Chain A
Amino acid sequence: MRKIAIFILALVISLPLAEGKKAPVAVKKLPPTARGAVQAKEVSLVRVNVTGQPYDYFRPWQKKAPFSKRALGAVLPHGRVLVTADLVANENYVELERAESGDKTAATVVVVDYESNLALLEPSEKNFLNGLQPLDLALDTVVGDKLSAWQLEPTGALVVTEGIVTTIGMSRYPADIADFLTYRLSIPMQYRDNSYTVPLVKNNKLAALLLRFDPRTQVMDAIPAAIIAHFLKDAASPHYQGFPSLGISFFPTRDPELREYAGEDNKGAGVYITAVEPGQPAAKAGLQAGDIVVAVDGHEIDKNGNYVDDLYGKLGFGNLINGKAYVGDSLPLHILRQGKPLTINVKLEHRNEENYVVPPYNIDEPPSYYVLGGLIFQELTRQYLKEWGANWQKDAPQDFVYLDKFQSELFPEGHRHVVILSQVLPANGTIGYDDFSYLVVKKVNGKEIESLADLAEAVKTPINGFHVITTEDDPKQLELSAAEVEQEAQALQKNYGLPALQRLQ
């Protein structure tokens, strides 16, 4: 319930890239003196030009047409440049450009984290960033602070727009994995071609990075320095771990009837655990649905799920998990189980995207597929569903959206994927099957299919010369002649321009 509300909010305000030059807004250009003050050290920004080429999940053997994005990167110590992960998603080529001179150099992505939407770049020329003062982080931003959005004019001149932090809270990031700490600002910023990543600066220190912006309401969400610091600390270690998670869903205990039912001790605190994701840290530590979490790491949790943060005040307790703690940390949870107090230590882990039944994102990696005699099999991923566009939740096949959304409920045992028959390429062997698409595959040649690898294995042993495909819904069964599949493989590949008939991870 809670999840849904927040999710919808996130959708509404996701990056309006194409909004372009709507609604002229007053942009305060710094007076020459002020600008000079900053430029004396040279603005710690570089332009970042990215050519990205996403995979085409409808034709999983190919990539879509390349397109370019321009953005700004914040120069950090150790010769690195910070940008949002969105910018470098599915990149083919990344280039840094000095704003004032126009000098360019190629760059590599050192670390990218799509969940926190952050990425670190490194120029191929070591001295490329010389003369640029690296930005330190401003970790002390609170509600009411003024932050400056830094953008560049085509000439390389700095444009500064000031905004005010109106709210600091937890919100959904674009990868839709979890809520992270977010600043919300009211800011009359103008969208420019370099606005993919916009640094927000406080006293010449990096306070945040643009997450999303709605030019109509002039409301911006930004990734706080605290999340950036977490990312950088992690990135400094030899193996990037990512942000940790618990694997629970919870519900407020505002309702006195629910509190009484759950055996809460009348202090009126804590949240009700509605579900524990199997195989995830909370489940491993023994947390159960029905428990009430009253404190995390010594911070009391109120009945809405907030703790009191030293800096921000009341804040969703998710920040104690993914904002303040790291993978490998052991976090004590104080709970009530049927009224009895217990302390459970949870060893935090990061949940990799392939660790979901329906992975929430697949970026930079080619989609797997298997073409059998014209039947195209794929694994169900949210990336695939997103091919239906911004309204994918309404437009994509509804049983797939349902599978994605309720995956932990439908597959409590986890450790599997969902293989689908996504479409049929008409061929001699698929006559009569042309209308079938978007079917969940249950078995192939009598073997349960829980991954594309299972399928690849199962097709090695046809039954009496037939490949027998069993689907969850109608038509329930399809058969192909194994000999015909083999005979026609080359012709099919040639006819439809398939570089290969399969790609497995």
Chain B
Amino acid sequence: MQNFRLLFCVLAFFIVVAAQAQPNGEIQNSLVRITSTESEPDYRAPWNSGMIGRAVGAGFIIDGQRIMTNAHVVSNSRYLTVEHEGDPNKYPATVQFVAHDCDLALLQVQNPNFWKSMKPLQFGGIPALESTVSAYGYPIGGERMSVTTGIVSRIDFNLYTHSAIDSHLAVQISAQINPGNSGGPVLQNGQVVGVAFQGYSGDVAQGVAYMIPTPVIRRFLKDIEDGHYDRYVDLGITYFKLQNPAQRHYLGLKDDDRGVLVGTVIQAGPCAKALQQGDVLLAIDGHPIASDAFVEYEGERVQMPEVVERKFKGDSVKLDIWRNKQPITASVTLGTVWPYLMQGHSYDIRPRYVLYGGLLFQPMSLDLLEAYRISDLRIRHYFDFFVSDQLYLKHPEVIILTNILPDPTNTYLTPFRDSIVDEINGKKIGTLQDLARAFEQPADRFVVKMIGDGPPLVLDPKKVEEARERIKTRYNVPVEQNLDEQPPSRPAVASRGSI
């Protein structure tokens, strides 16, 4: 939805919150300190295992001998340990579920000794504005629990910076929280009302911290009941307020302050068949949509996407539509709109690439663009308009020649860096698989056409073959390609152009 276009994630850093002890009970018996050894993928040398780093965060015990924390505390982790006050041991832990789109994760600890003195916390509701909450955790990596208190300052949709593309309900609190140990619980009257997860660095705003509220947490816990996390679902449309009287008259709407105008319908989304540009959405699941895109939901006035937020993959939603001045209804089955994923951060996957003749081909993604700091106008355009201009239909993956490892076979090819592969020997390239397959075909030469008015890149397969070992040795490349790891939950792409 339109919020998802807000990719500016610079402002937030991750934090953890601390605990105010006794009004909320013996939090020490529920709070854990999590140490994660993680390996950050290196998109510039995708064959490497990446940089090893260590991070400390907080977590808390919930029902069923599970530890809840933030996804970003355990992302890309290779080894996890947990510890808690009053027990001198460090216990190895594993990730049971992780939801990068709402920054939550559940951990397991096998050792029964760990659980001896631990007590699960219970969840509450959304705390009232101006009510006091306490945050618990291990700020700045300290070893003893810390507690801070503050009030609930605002309840609104907000960008979750971990993925950088997801917006969900978030609660802003004024409790002091600091980087180093996100994932800690925020309590009120002995119940968990949120998980501290992000804030601003001090030079942007102070006393502004965010917690993940319980509707988001409960949704996560429900989603995984079937043993699999399916991600949030989305309508896959853009919509606009219908406040202009002339526009309302033109569309044949009454002056009843109802309806939003459908702009773009993402073809890869669930509404592709049900909606079209120019439709007016009048109601969602029976909740009337106001012309400013708010709906009444469970007694509160919330933004329209909130209705979809609470649903799960495979659920359906009923839409009341105004089309050509006639009311119609449609029921759509919700799912993830996969093209968005490319515009967000991904975790726990190894970068995918093909190295051929020293030419490094990689699929476009936010992580890739950040790693190379690519500012090429065409690539930025393909990134920014990937979803809205439906560029993914032709290019489910945008394959970029990101780097060239110099070798006699490619010495004249440097001008091709940062160009997007369009076709190889006349065959359209829509995915990294397509590219790898194209280079496997027997041919006298490979003519690689890039998008735009440039010259073709011409390769002699025999010379490339001769150079293989030389390049691998010289640049320490153990494996020349990684095609395997599909980004999670991307469906097999139906519209791929290769037959």
| Cβ contact within 8 Å between A255 and B454 | no
Q: Which residues on the B side are within 8 Å of A473 (C-beta)?
A: 264, 388-389
Please encode chain A, from 343 to 365, with 1 for each CB lying within 8 Å of some chain B CB and 0 for all others. 00000000000000000000000
Determine the interface band of chain A, counting residues with CB < 8 A from chain B.
Answer: 35 or more
Known contacts A260-B458, A477-B261: A249-B241 contact under CB 8 Å: no
Q: Which residues on the A side are within 8 Å of B250 (C-beta)?
A: 464, 466, 468, 479
Alpha-carbon distance A261/B412, docked complex (angstroms): 14
| Cβ contact within 8 Å between A479 and B453 | no
Alpha-carbon distance A408/B453, docked complex (angstroms): 9
B94 interface hit (Cβ, 8 Å) = no
**A115 nearest CB across to chain B (Å):** 22
Please encode chain A, from 415 to 442, with 1 for each CB lying within 8 Å of some chain B CB and 0 for all others. 0000000000000011111000000000
Alpha-carbon distance A468/B277, docked complex (angstroms): 14
B318 interface hit (Cβ, 8 Å) = no
**A465 nearest CB across to chain B (Å):** 9
**B241 nearest CB across to chain A (Å):** 6
Q: Which residues on the A side are within 8 Å of B445 (C-beta)?
A: 257, 260-261
Residue on A nearest B414 in the bound complex, by CB: A1
| Cβ contact within 8 Å between A261 and B458 | yes
| Cβ contact within 8 Å between A399 and B261 | no
**B359 nearest CB across to chain A (Å):** 13
**A455 nearest CB across to chain B (Å):** 18
| Cβ contact within 8 Å between B453 and A402 | no
Q: Tell me the A388-402 residues at the B interface (CB within 8 Å).
A: 393-394, 398-399, 401-402
Q: Tell me the A438-486 residues at the B interface (CB within 8 Å).
A: 464, 466, 468, 473-481, 484
B240 interface hit (Cβ, 8 Å) = yes
Contact residue among A249, A274, A432, A474 (Cβ-Cβ distance under 8 Å from B243) = A432
| Cβ contact within 8 Å between A272 and B261 | no
Alpha-carbon distance A255/B460, docked complex (angstroms): 12
B249 interface hit (Cβ, 8 Å) = yes
Residue on B nearest A483 in the bound complex, by CB: B246
| Cβ contact within 8 Å between B244 and A399 | no
Give the segment of B68-76, B219-227, B373-381 that binds chain A: B373-381
Q: Which residues on the B side are within 8 Å of A260 (C-beta)?
A: 445, 458
Alpha-carbon distance A484/B249, docked complex (angstroms): 13
Contact residue among B241, B415, B452, B459 (Cβ-Cβ distance under 8 Å from A257) = B459
| Cβ contact within 8 Å between B263 and A398 | no
Q: Tell me the B363-387 residues at the A interface (CB within 8 Å).
A: 375, 377-378, 380-381, 384-385
Alpha-carbon distance A1/B376, docked complex (angstroms): 11
Known contacts A474-B263, A477-B261, A481-B249: A431-B244 contact under CB 8 Å: yes
Alpha-carbon distance A466/B261, docked complex (angstroms): 17
**A365 nearest CB across to chain B (Å):** 28
Q: Which residues on the B side are within 8 Å of A251 (C-beta)?
A: 415, 454-455
| Cβ contact within 8 Å between A261 and B456 | yes
| Cβ contact within 8 Å between A258 and B458 | yes
Please encode chain B, from 241 to 259, with 1 for each CB lying within 8 Å of some chain A CB and 0 for all others. 1111111011100000000
Residue on B nearest A481 in the bound complex, by CB: B246
| Cβ contact within 8 Å between B453 and A249 | yes
| Cβ contact within 8 Å between A479 and B378 | no
Interface of chain A: mostly helix, strand, loop or mixed: mixed
B307 interface hit (Cβ, 8 Å) = no
Alpha-carbon distance A1/B241, docked complex (angstroms): 43
Alpha-carbon distance A258/B261, docked complex (angstroms): 51
The residue in B2, B245, B250, B278 that gathers the most chain A C-beta atoms within 10 A of its C-beta is B250
Q: Which residues on the B side are within 8 Å of A258 (C-beta)?
A: 412, 455-456, 458
Alpha-carbon distance A1/B456, docked complex (angstroms): 13
Q: Which residues on the A side are within 8 Å of B329 (C-beta)?
A: none
| Cβ contact within 8 Å between A480 and B455 | no
Q: Which residues on the B side are within 8 Å of A480 (C-beta)?
A: 246
**B468 nearest CB across to chain A (Å):** 17
A254 interface hit (Cβ, 8 Å) = yes
Alpha-carbon distance A394/B376, docked complex (angstroms): 11
B129 interface hit (Cβ, 8 Å) = no
Q: Tell me the B428-468 residues at the A interface (CB within 8 Å).
A: 445, 447, 452-456, 458-460
**A257 nearest CB across to chain B (Å):** 4
| Cβ contact within 8 Å between A476 and B278 | yes
Residue on B nearest A466 in the bound complex, by CB: B250
Contact residue among B242, B389, B458 (Cβ-Cβ distance under 8 Å from A255) = B458
| Cβ contact within 8 Å between B453 and A409 | yes
26 contacts between A and B (CB under 8 A): A251-B455, A254-B412, A258-B412, A258-B458, A260-B458, A261-B458, A398-B377, A401-B377, A405-B377, A406-B378, A431-B244, A432-B241, A432-B247, A466-B246, A473-B388, A474-B238, A474-B240, A474-B263, A474-B264, A476-B263, A477-B278, A478-B247, A479-B246, A480-B246, A481-B245, A484-B246
Residues of B within 8 A of A (CB): 2, 238, 240-247, 249-251, 261, 263-264, 277-278, 375, 377-378, 380-381, 384-385, 388-389, 412-413, 415-416, 445, 447, 452-456, 458-460
Given contacts A399-B381, A408-B453, A473-B264, 19 further A-B contacts (CB under 8 A): A1-B415, A1-B416, A251-B415, A255-B413, A255-B458, A257-B459, A398-B380, A401-B377, A402-B378, A405-B377, A409-B452, A464-B250, A466-B249, A474-B2, A474-B238, A474-B388, A476-B278, A479-B247, A480-B246
The 5 nearest A-B residue pairs measured at CB: A432-B243, A255-B412, A275-B453, A432-B244, A257-B458
